[in-house]
Structure 1
Amino acid sequence: MSVVDLDRHIVVATLSVGLAPSALALADTDDRLYVADLNSSDLVVLSVRSLQTLGQVKVGAAPTGVAIGRRRTRLCL
């Protein structure tokens, strides 16, 4: 997955999130980006600030969507 600087229109980082990232959800309160990977059936958790992988969770076959709950205590795939 590529990170693009929107002011300069250039790729500033490339992050490993699996072979087929299929959905993203940004948590606006805690610096986290959640990426569903269709190929590996993982949910990858990234830090937006540091651009580091914080963790990976096996979530079941072929996740194609990600939604964060209103209270931000649950994530649905």
Structure 2
Amino acid sequence: AGGHSGAAPAASGPAPDLPDEWAALFRSASHQDVPSEAPSQFTCPLTMEIFRDPVVTPSGRTYERSALLEHMKK
């Protein structure tokens, strides 16, 4: 009897255009709205770069694995 399954209709094409107000907000957003640095808890104290493979030492300090291994070789 042509019932409705309750499922959302499948997308059938590109996403609709953003409302004009949203588009204006995105256009007006500047890079000043984005922090220029990551918070210190996300950066290695040896490299000052964002962690990619962090390790925690027995003393509780966190370092980038490759930087810590390189530092330990010296």
Task: Identify the TM-score tier after normalising by the shorter chain.
Answer: under 0.3
Q: Which has the higher contact order (CA 8 A, sep 6+)?
A: 1
- Structure that is richer in helix per residue: 2
TM-score, reference length from structure 2: 0.24
TM-score, reference length from structure 1: 0.23
